[in-house]
């Protein structure tokens, strides 16, 4: 990114003005946005793969990802707003709604693609904001046990409050620990929510034969060692990618309104937009799990 480009791809706001093609919204509406814009009319959008839209662009990543603005600002233009915004129900707060545009939909996408059956054991690798919300969403599918692997105790404590069984990878080998808890078989499925090669490897090796790996962590590398033989030998299914956000926003808002999901539980700090630089420092230093910036 270049100096001066605006950050912020996860935001709520109030509509100030609408373009001539916008039908669903009017000035004054409270809305939440998908973190990326899809067009809704290309071939892959029409097939329901909005995350593969040929016109895809991401907020707050400058020219490299489509030259849109960022949400950490006073005003922002949302292209194709009818398709990329959802109205926030009046009984939901901004904090309850904001994560449906990114990390909650990513958590649900991860959990759904992990093919969890009731009674299963699931392993979530990484207890950052996405891993925590994946843990929360996984509970809707009825697993008997959800192991959550991380190295930060404060994050593992939140995971435990969400129904997870914490495994601190700085004290124990997480693969051995999950095997011990599952009679040597491994978890039925895993969710990878980091993107580092080592954690992808853990997500693959902690799963039983015939199991599923659902990887949503943004890769830290373009190519990496991949335990292909192990996966073939174990007949594993590997699913990966960014969330299909536009499909999830409406149902997630309904789940929050019904009290089945409480995504605001992962917020550790609330700070002013003017203090954003300090907020980024705290997040980098793992002093904060999730910071919401307010005007």
284 within 8 A of 87, measured Cβ to Cβ = no
Residue 53 interacts with Zn ion (CB under 5 A): yes or no: yes
Examine residue 39 and tell whether it contacts Zn ion (CB under 5 A): yes
**Spatial CB neighbours of 27, under 8 Å, sequence gap ≥ 6:** 15, 16, 17, 18
Nearer to Zn ion, 31 or 45 (CB): 45
In the numeric block, the tokens 């919300």 are attached to 133
The yes or no reply on residue 45 touching Zn ion (CB under 5 A) is yes
Which of these segments, 51-59, 107-115, 229-237, 264-272, binds Zn ion (CB under 5 A)?
A: 51-59
Q: How far is CA 62 from CA 39, 98, 173, 200, 261, in A?
A: 19, 21, 39, 28, 32
Q: Cα separation of 236 and 227, whole Å?
A: 11
Give whichever of 47 and 285 is closer to Zn ion, judged by the CB atom: 47
Interface characters, 199-238, with Zn ion (x: CB under 5 A): ----------------------------------------
Of the two residues 53 and 193, which places its CB atom closer to Zn ion in the complex?
53
Q: How far apart are CA 26 and CA 47, in angstroms?
A: 29
Q: Is 31 in the site for Zn ion (CB under 5 A)?
A: no
42 lines the binding site for Zn ion (CB under 5 A): yes
Furthest-apart CA atoms within the chain: distance in Å = 61
Question: Given the complex with Zn ion, which of 40 and 87 has the nearer CB atom?
Answer: 40
Interface residues with Zn ion (CB under 5 A) are 38-39, 42, 45, 53
């Amino acid at each position: 990114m270049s100096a001066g480009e605006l950050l912020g791809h996860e935001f709520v706001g109030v509509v100030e003005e609408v373009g001539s093609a916008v039908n669903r919204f009017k000035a004054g509406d409270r809305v939440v946005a998908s973190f990326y814009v899809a067009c809704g009319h290309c071939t892959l959008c029409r097939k329901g793969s909005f995350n593969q839209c040929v016109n895809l662009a991401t907020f707050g990543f400058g020219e490299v990802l489509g030259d849109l603005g960022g949400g950490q600002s006073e005003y922002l233009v949302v292209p194709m707003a009818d398709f990329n915004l959802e109205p926030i129900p009046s009984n939901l707060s901004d904090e309850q709604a904001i994560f449906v545009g990114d990390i909650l939909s990513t958590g649900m996408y991860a959990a759904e693609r992990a093919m969890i059956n009731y009674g299963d054991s699931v392993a979530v690798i990484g207890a950052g904001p996405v891993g925590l919300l994946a843990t929360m969403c996984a509970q809707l599918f009825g697993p008997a046990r959800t192991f959550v692997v991380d190295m930060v105790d404060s994050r593992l404590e939140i995971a435990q409050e969400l129904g997870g069984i914490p495994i601190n990878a700085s004290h124990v080998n997480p693969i051995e620990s999950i095997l011990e808890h599952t009679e040597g078989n491994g978890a039925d499925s895993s969710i990878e929510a980091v993107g580092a090669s080592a954690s992808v490897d853990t997500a693959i090796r902690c799963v039983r034969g015939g199991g599923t790996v659902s990887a949503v962590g943004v890769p830290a590398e373009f190519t990496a060692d991949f335990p292909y033989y192990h996966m073939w030998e174990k007949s594993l299914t590997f699913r990966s990618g960014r969330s299909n956000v536009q499909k999830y926003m409406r149902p997630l808002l309904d789940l929050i309104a019904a009290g089945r999901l409480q995504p605001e539980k992962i917020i550790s700090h609330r700070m002013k937009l003017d203090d954003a630089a300090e907020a980024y420092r705290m997040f980098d230093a793992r002093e904060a799990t999730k910071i919401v910036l307010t005007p």
